[in-house]
Amino acid sequence: MQTLDPAAMAHISEVSVSVELQTSDMTLNIGPQHPSTHGVLRLVAKVDGERVRSVEPVIGYMHRGYEKLAEVRTYPQITALVNRIDWVSGFANEIPFIVAAERLMGLEVPERAQYIRLILTEMARISSHLIFMSSYPLEIGAATPLMHALRERERVLDLLESVTGGRFHPNFNRLGGVKPAAGAGAQTKKVVQDLPQGFLQDTKAAMVKMFEICDDLEGLVTGNEIFQARTVGIGVMPADRAAAFGVSGPNLRASGPDFDLRKHTDYLPYDKFEFEIPIGRNGDCFDRYQVRLEEIRQSASIINQAIDTIPSGPLQAKVPKIIKVPAGEIYVRAENPKGEMGYHLISDGGRVPYRLKIRSASFSNLSVLPWLLEDQLVPDLIAILGSLDFVLGDVDR
Amino acid sequence: MIVVLAIGFWAGLALKIGIMAAIVPVVALPIIFAELKLSAHMQHRIGPYFAGGRYGWAQPLADGLKFFQKEDLVPDAADKMVYKLAPYLVLGAAMAVFVVIPFGPDLIGRDLDLGVFYALAISSISTIGVLIAGWSSGNKYSLIGGLRAAAQLIAYELPLFLAVVGVVIQAQTMSMIGIIDAQAEYQLFGLEIAGNAIAIPYVFPQFIGFVIFYIAALAELSRTPFDMPIAESELVMGYLTEYSGFRFAVFFIGEYIGIFTMSAIMATLWLGGYDPLFFDLSGLNDIAANAIGALVLFGKVAILVFLMIWMRWTFPRFREDQLQDLAWRILIPLGLANIAVTAFFKVVF
């Protein structure tokens, strides 16, 4: 019988241990054309099988140069530009800019106009969050909530259209107030154009539906075990990390801080209404979803309160025919559906801004991606990406 | 003489295959239509409406014609022969299962002694089709999709077989007709309707096996919540990303034929197949028995297909590791326990 040399055996086992499977990372280009990147975001992902080693977001495919364009447009023209930044909540984009210009001019905006702005801003918030409610389950793989959420969003858009004439791009704010409403009838010297007939009642009826769709979504999506398995504990973002990256809005509040500019600043009369700031505990995808769902309810409640207490009066302050903004510098920020949006406006006293720096929420929210997506699985990458709720127009401007 | 016989055999076989190839894809059309229409109503939509005059009944045909018109793209980076072969492998495997599906007492291609075994074995071949489709496309999304499909289909083959073993033990045969006959004779408590004894289908004694098989069948078919190989929001279209036109249509029809055959196998093994259960087909003449049998089978298949469509439009998608978890840590131990309990009762009683 052949004898085996122990030394040779040791050698064999050593060899078999030291041979490892040689694998190399694969570069996977996700986007700019991809169903889940919400437009033209490109993620250059290094993947090892299904494990994502690193992610590098590439942005700029949608750059339209609004900051530069604003330097050659008069102030009334700029509102038409800025509501194309975050196009799913166009109305909310106009507010901080128009407030910045009004403050430099020292205009007193009539209270009724402020209330109308507030109602329409909250409607824009609802429509933006309903887009999230439809697209996020779709990214997790459920197709049906999309139809339910979009159907309800249509009510909000119809109402917005009845006042402003536009579903996505209202261009409704004027320096010193709001534009006379679209469906208000002929303008004479005596009859003041106002909200369309029956708008306030229709809005109240629509808000009932908003509470209903929130309950529906809770039954259809929130409680679903598969949805929870896919989102709870995924993409956890601690509060200090979120703050360090400049994350704001629902994404920040899902991590714990109750930071909401509606409570901290006075760009619109939010201090007259009672509402809560929903916050999350863990900062995972599920919390980011739930915070937004709760914000729809809070916004609907704010709209209901505003309709009950809306004062009558003029819609416009007195403004000169040729609008010139006095020289000065101001930064106004507002709580947009996606997070903090701010305009740094510098005027040299002319008809056009000297410089308009736009701080958009989605840009800062996306900056956390490389940190957040490291060592995640490919399916989780999509779940985390969707939970940040960004719009490419808001990233690239 | 022998030569003539041989030619006759091959000619007959070719004729049979030709007839099958023409007829079998037709069963996919009602299922495609049901999916279009049911998903529409679940989502507060109307769905197809104008095609074919009323109710949009001709929409699947119109979609099929559209696929024929599309350009047949083969990517430059693709392994061309394998890429072209893959869809036919999937469709062929799905169609080959029809040999053992009994539509009536005499309406069966061939009542093999190992009918169940054959059905499950041959349907596994489609896995290879999916894998090579993903591999040969020369696309990274397709590659990930194909590998996901391979991992998923291998993991779910086991619970699929384990669930069937319980039925086979109880019926003491692997022949499809034999299993239906065993269910027709299986009675509990002597229930009767108008003098006819009511047979109890195996879904009651083998309920755990039925549930395991149903879940595993969803995974085999890559239906929601197990549609990771396609996973539109992650992998664009998974292994189907590069396929277009006719080849995509072949995949598509293969998928829906797979749904039909899996449902037919389930209906046969657990719901009594073509047997109506509350009266005896053997009293009728041959044509009536076969016609009623086929209708009964289609009815049972319709119920199972409806459940699948309902799930698809309700559930989100699992993650790949959660799916493996479900197969190896829950379904397989449950399937083994089911076999043990079934065998115990078979021996004791």
B47: left (phi over 0), alpha (psi -120 to 50) or beta: left
Side chain identity at residue B256, one-letter code: Y
Domain, as residue range, for B89: 78-348
In a domain, A142, yes or no: yes
Residue A16 has pLDDT above 70, yes or no: no
Size of interface A-B (CB pairs under 8 A): 81
Helix, strand or coil, per DSSP, at residue A272: helix
Give which of B114, B119, B115 is closest to B97, Cα–Cα.
B119
Mean pLDDT score, A342-353: 88
Whether chain B has a CB inside 8 Å of the CB on A28: the answer is: yes
Question: What is the structure's pLDDT at B272?
Answer: 81
Mean pLDDT score, A188-194: 51
Whether chain A has a CB inside 8 Å of the CB on B35: the answer is: no
Whether chain B has a CB inside 8 Å of the CB on A224: the answer is: yes
**Residue A28 · residue A37 · CB < 8 Å:** no
User: Would the CA dihedral through A236, A238, A244, A246 be positive or negative?
Assistant: positive
Task: Note whether A229 contacts B44, CB cutoff 8 Å.
Answer: no
Question: What is the structure's pLDDT at B77?
Answer: 81
Give B133-179 as a DSSP string: HHHHT--HHHHHHHHHHHHHHHHHHHHHHHHHHHHHHHHT---HHHH
Question: Count of domains in chain B?
Answer: 1
For residue B68, the distance in angstroms to the closest alpha carbon of chain A comes to 25
More confident: A208 or B187? A208
For residue A45, the distance in angstroms to the closest alpha carbon of chain B comes to 12
Rounded Cα distance, B69 and B63, in Å: 10
Question: What is the structure's pLDDT at A291?
Answer: 92
Find the closest chain A residue to B224 by CA distance. A141
| Burial call A162-187: b when 16+ CB within 10 Å, e when fewer | bbbebebbbbbbbbbbbbbbeebeee
Query: pLDDT-derived band of residue A191, with 50, 70 and 90 as boundaries?
Result: very low
Q: Which residues of A touch B316 (CB under 8 A)?
A: 137, 140-142, 221, 224, 226-227, 230
Task: Note whether A230 contacts B316, CB cutoff 8 Å.
Answer: yes
H or E, element range at A206? helix A199-217
Task: Note whether B316 contacts A142, CB cutoff 8 Å.
Answer: yes
Q: Which residues of B touch A377 (CB under 8 A)?
A: 319-321
Rounded to 5 degrees, what angle do the CA atoms A234, A364, A126 make?
A: 75
Find the closest chain B residue to A220 by CA distance. B314
Question: What is the structure's pLDDT at A183?
Answer: 47
Q: Which residues of A touch B147 (CB under 8 A)?
A: 49
Question: What is the structure's pLDDT at A189?
Answer: 45
Task: Note whether A141 contacts B315, CB cutoff 8 Å.
Answer: yes
**Residue A335 · residue A315 · CB < 8 Å:** no
Side chain identity at residue A42, one-letter code: R
Give which of A98, A104, A63 is closest to A80, Cα–Cα.
A98
In a domain, B311, yes or no: yes
Task: Note whether A377 contacts B144, CB cutoff 8 Å.
Answer: no
In a domain, B31, yes or no: no
For residue A227, the distance in angstroms to the closest alpha carbon of chain B comes to 6
Give the C-alpha distances (Å, rounded to integers) separating A372 from A131, A137, A251, A380: 23, 20, 13, 11
Residues 6+ away with beta carbon under 8 Å from B202: B167, B170, B171, B179, B183, B186, B209, B210, B269, B270, B271, B272
Neighbours of A200 (CB within 10 A): 16
Residue A76 has pLDDT above 80, yes or no: yes
Task: Note whether A143 contacts B313, CB cutoff 8 Å.
Answer: yes
C-alpha A128: how far from chain center: 7
Return the CATH number at A266: 1.10.645.10
Count Cα neighbours of A216 within 13 Å in the Cβ-side half-sphere: 20
Mean pLDDT score, A121-134: 91
- Alpha-helix residue ranges (DSSP H) falling in chain B: 2-42, 59-69, 80-96, 115-123, 125-136, 140-171, 176-185, 207-220, 232-235, 245-270, 286-312, 320-325, 332-348
Query: pLDDT-derived band of residue A89, with 50, 70 and 90 as boundaries?
Result: confident
Count Cα neighbours of B337 within 13 Å in the Cβ-side half-sphere: 9
Query: What does the CA dihedral B333, B338, B343, B349 come to, rounded to 10 degrees?
Result: 150
Question: What is the structure's pLDDT at A302?
Answer: 92
Task: Note whether B233 contacts A230, CB cutoff 8 Å.
Answer: no
In a domain, B61, yes or no: no
Residue A150 has pLDDT above 50, yes or no: yes
pLDDT digits (tens, 9 = 90+) for B137-190: 888 888 888 888 888 888 888 898 898 988 888 888 888 888 888 887 777 666
Q: Among A29, A134, A226, A387, pick the best mutation site for testing chain B contact (most B Cβ within 10 A).
A: A226
Whether chain A has a CB inside 8 Å of the CB on B236: the answer is: yes
For residue A267, the distance in angstroms to the closest alpha carbon of chain B comes to 38
In a domain, A382, yes or no: yes
In a domain, B24, yes or no: no
Q: Which residues of B touch A140 (CB under 8 A)?
A: 233, 316-317
Mean pLDDT score, A384-392: 87
Structure tokens at B150: 């391979």
Helix, strand, coil shares, percent, chain A, to 5: 50, 10, 40
Question: What is the structure's pLDDT at A80?
Answer: 86
Rounded Cα distance, A167 and A128, in Å: 12
Rounded Cα distance, A325 and B333, in Å: 75
Report the mean per-residue pLDDT for chain A: 84
Task: Note whether A382 contacts B233, CB cutoff 8 Å.
Answer: yes
Helix axes B2-42, B286-312, angle to 10 degrees: 40
Rounded Cα distance, A211 and A207, in Å: 6
Structure tokens at B171: 């019926």
Rounded Cα distance, B231 and A378, in Å: 11
Structure tokens at B305: 């297909």
Find the closest chain B residue to A148 by CA distance. B43
B189: left (phi over 0), alpha (psi -120 to 50) or beta: left
In a domain, A47, yes or no: no
Neighbours of B294 (CB within 10 A): 15
Rounded Cα distance, A362 and A37, in Å: 13
Rounded Cα distance, B335 and B165, in Å: 9
Helix, strand or coil, per DSSP, at residue B91: helix
Neighbours of B57 (CB within 10 A): 15
Burial of residue A128 (number of CB atoms within 10 Å: 0-12, 13-18, 19+): buried
pLDDT digits (tens, 9 = 90+) for A318-334: 777 788 888 889 999 89
pLDDT digits (tens, 9 = 90+) for A160-169: 888 888 888 8
In a domain, B87, yes or no: yes
A260: left (phi over 0), alpha (psi -120 to 50) or beta: beta
In a domain, B215, yes or no: yes
Residue A186 has pLDDT above 60, yes or no: no
Whether chain A has a CB inside 8 Å of the CB on B311: the answer is: no
Q: Among B39, B319, B323, pick the best mutation site for testing chain A contact (most A Cβ within 10 A).
A: B319
Question: What is the structure's pLDDT at A300?
Answer: 92
Rounded Cα distance, A348 and A346, in Å: 7
Q: Among A47, A140, A227, pick the best mutation site for testing chain B contact (most B Cβ within 10 A).
A: A140
User: Would the CA dihedral through B295, B300, B301, B307 be positive or negative?
Assistant: positive
Whether chain B has a CB inside 8 Å of the CB on A232: the answer is: no
Find the closest chain B residue to A149 by CA distance. B43
Which residues in chain B come in under a pLDDT of 70? 1-6, 109, 188-197, 281
Whether chain A has a CB inside 8 Å of the CB on B144: the answer is: yes
- Classify the complex by whether its ipTM is higher than 0.85, answering yes or no: no
Find the closest chain B residue to A28 by CA distance. B140
Who among A144, A381, A382 is closest to B42 (CB)? Answer: A144
Give the C-alpha distances (Å, rounded to integers) separating A275 from A175, A262, A301, B292: 28, 10, 7, 64
Side chain identity at residue A36, one-letter code: S
Residue A234 has pLDDT above 70, yes or no: yes
Structure tokens at A315: 């819609």
Residue A2 has pLDDT above 80, yes or no: no
Find the closest chain A residue to B226 by CA distance. A141
Helix axes B245-270, B207-220, angle to 10 degrees: 180
Question: What is the structure's pLDDT at A188?
Answer: 46
CA Rg, chain A, in Å?
25
Question: Count of domains in chain A?
Answer: 1
In a domain, B323, yes or no: yes
Find the closest chain A residue to B142 by CA distance. A28
Whether chain B has a CB inside 8 Å of the CB on A150: the answer is: no
pLDDT digits (tens, 9 = 90+) for A251-297: 999 988 888 888 888 888 888 888 888 988 888 899 999 999 999 99
In a domain, B6, yes or no: no
Residues 6+ away with beta carbon under 8 Å from B5: none
Task: Note whether B233 contacts A226, CB cutoff 8 Å.
Answer: no
Side chain identity at residue A183, one-letter code: G
Count Cα neighbours of A281 within 13 Å in the Cβ-side half-sphere: 2
Whether chain A has a CB inside 8 Å of the CB on B176: the answer is: no
Q: Which residues of A touch B317 (CB under 8 A)?
A: 140-142, 226, 230, 379
Whether chain B has a CB inside 8 Å of the CB on A26: the answer is: yes
Question: What is the structure's pLDDT at A225?
Answer: 86
Rounded Cα distance, A185 and A92, in Å: 26
Question: What is the structure's pLDDT at A162?
Answer: 85
Rounded Cα distance, A153 and A290, in Å: 18
Side chain identity at residue B127, one-letter code: T
Helix, strand or coil, per DSSP, at residue A41: coil
- Report yes or no on whether pTM surpasses 0.80: yes
Task: Note whether B316 contacts A226, CB cutoff 8 Å.
Answer: yes
Domain, as residue range, for A329: 57-395
Neighbours of A110 (CB within 10 A): 19
Task: Note whether A378 contacts B144, CB cutoff 8 Å.
Answer: yes
In a domain, A285, yes or no: yes
